[in-house]
Structure 1
Amino acid sequence: MKKIALHGMVSSRNFGDILMVDIVSKYLAQKAYDISIPMACNAVLNDLSIKQNNRGFWSFNSCDNLVYTGGGYFGPMANRNFSKDLKMILKFASPSEFFIPKSGHHIIGVGVNGLDKYQITKSYMKRLFNSAGTLAVRDEESLFELEKIGVRHSGIEVLADIALNIQLESIPANSLEYAKGEISDLRCRYEKVIALHLSGVPDEKYYDNIYAGILKYAEKNKDVGFVLIEDHPSPTNSSPQILAAQYLKNILLERAKIIPYTFHWNLVAVLSQIDGIVTNKLHVAIVSSALNKIAIAFTKHEKNHRFFAQIEASERCSNLQEQNPNSVYTLMENEFHYINRGEIIPVRVRDLARRNLELVQQNLIK
């Protein structure tokens, strides 16, 4: 049996990253490949139900192929500097550079941005992308970013985010039961249930207007209940997302319920049971949309705008810093008025997301 190493942002339990690794892992396991995640932490391996004795860079040596799973890790980091770029090179370029045979690595469903700031970054990343056996990015803008650093891969494809493969049938039964139980009381008492998911506290710059708009919507729509969620664990209950949830809970009282992060499929299941969501995080918006729920995003990041443009819903994604209470309220009022709109994701975009998995399976060593 051929062993496939999966690589990406696997050092923490961040929802979007671990979900995409899980989707690829399950797909390849069904095709009878042995899966290894050399750089995963214990918590991630536990969530993925993968037992693995050997980890770290040297364990790439025992693998036949390397697959870089989806995500935005080939993009800008907070407070970007030369030192952080070197760490990115070490983490993501070195496995294919030193441990996996040339053309033994495949890159699928990634977002790319800002790799042209430093020459050393351009050189290593250009080589990484050009030598990939499979190369697929999740949007047109990522293709443009690769062309800027001189990538000329003959087989590059522009696809869509891997998480768009999720459907209701993808969710484990126990996670679905968990979510229904968590939301059942709100479902009994309110006509609609809207999720709120913010990464900024009320006194943080620009977020005050978002909270004011949300609370105006709540005041004018007494038939709406709210679930307050987070997309990664907060052991100390002090993350901005938990503080945001606690602030809203103290105002909305019995109309709201906090659902802490427990497991990535549990969060997927919760998103399947709501009617809409306000978020500032990309993969919460992507998964909600994949499950045909109305997602509204207030964002600081271009990657969110890229996604909403791809699904032909740019009107539901707005810059965080440009909002006022009335603009937030009006957008929520308009978008959540009609919640049952059928398929949110265009068929062609679903097909592009599925193509990620088909591509890598076609090109792996048999």
Structure 2
Amino acid sequence: MVVRRQNLLPHSELPYTVPFGGEHGPIYDSGDMVAGLDAFHDRADVDGIREQVLRRRQQGELVGLGTAFAMEHSGNGKHESVVATLDHDGVVTLGTGAAEVGQGVIDTVLRVAADRVGIATSALRVVAGDSRGHREGRGTFGSRTTIFVGSAVADAGGRLRSEAIRRAADKLGVPTAQIVVGPQTLRGGTGEVAWKDLAPIHVEGVHEMADATWGFGAYLAVVAVDPVSAVPAVERLSVAYDCGVAIDPDNVHRQLVGGAVHGLGGALHEELAYAPDGQPLATTLMDYAIPTSAEVPDVEAFVLELEPASGNPLGVKGAGEAGVIGGRCRRRQRGRRCTRPPGRHLVPARAPPEVFRAFDTTALDRQEIP
């Protein structure tokens, strides 16, 4: 980890264009990788975990510690729009082409809209994934929803607020600078006007962004392998990710936890197996083994907010896939460290059968630790 820290890009070199990919090479736009690694190192107690693993290995246990670091891009799609309409019932309806698939897009839209418009959250309604509620949109994919939809909502909310202030000032006969926006009414001078009395207002918000944004992630796993059955057990799983600004920190935390479990499944459990004639063998969830609560430890997830992203007004980075990407890298390290007897180099194991084949079978017959 010391060597990797020395090779991280310092904050002073950002934005940094990665020298491959031609004219469309990745641009690391913002963040602080060194600060992110240091925060992860301290909050996950990496030194303490390493000492515990070393003591256990000295006592003969097959246990390993794996760490991984990655840059995760998010925010592809370049364009998104959101429609906001204030109706005569005083409700603001927000229409978006993004779909709610469990990632919390509706809650995010409500939070951003309430902040930018100034109206009560109870007076907001979101129509997601319904073409009757918006003009156009790119949808939900690639950890882009909060970046694009959230930013378009912010734009629409600002436009609706400005128009509401203008109309309230006309009704109350005061300058727009004297209008005070409240969750139920807009006040100016000695008078006030309800939101519903300013309807109808119809605006469209847009967000455009040419390049993806990049976030730094750090990952850790402790895995022990039973010396007789060769069954691996993940004892600890930690992930930290710099999301720029967290609109809903609890939701980001949940997505990092879910992503880490997804990565664990891909590293140790899930496999699309085929017979020699090409017949798929994993056709049900009895054959395709996803991780369950019996195989998953309590996941530590640390939501880092190191620096706002530069490419959108909310300063956010996508977090929906960030928890997943460390799984393969951690697997290769911990598999090697768990199953490497002294003096031997073993190919990193993936699934339990491969772990078993990596053992010294003669020693296993004697039920000795290799």
Q: TM-score range by the shorter chain?
A: under 0.3
Larger radius of gyration between Structure 1 and Structure 2:
2
Structure of higher RCO (CA pairs closer than 8 Å, 6+ residues apart) = 2
TM, length-normalised to structure 1: 0.22
Task: Decide which structure has greater helix share.
Answer: 1
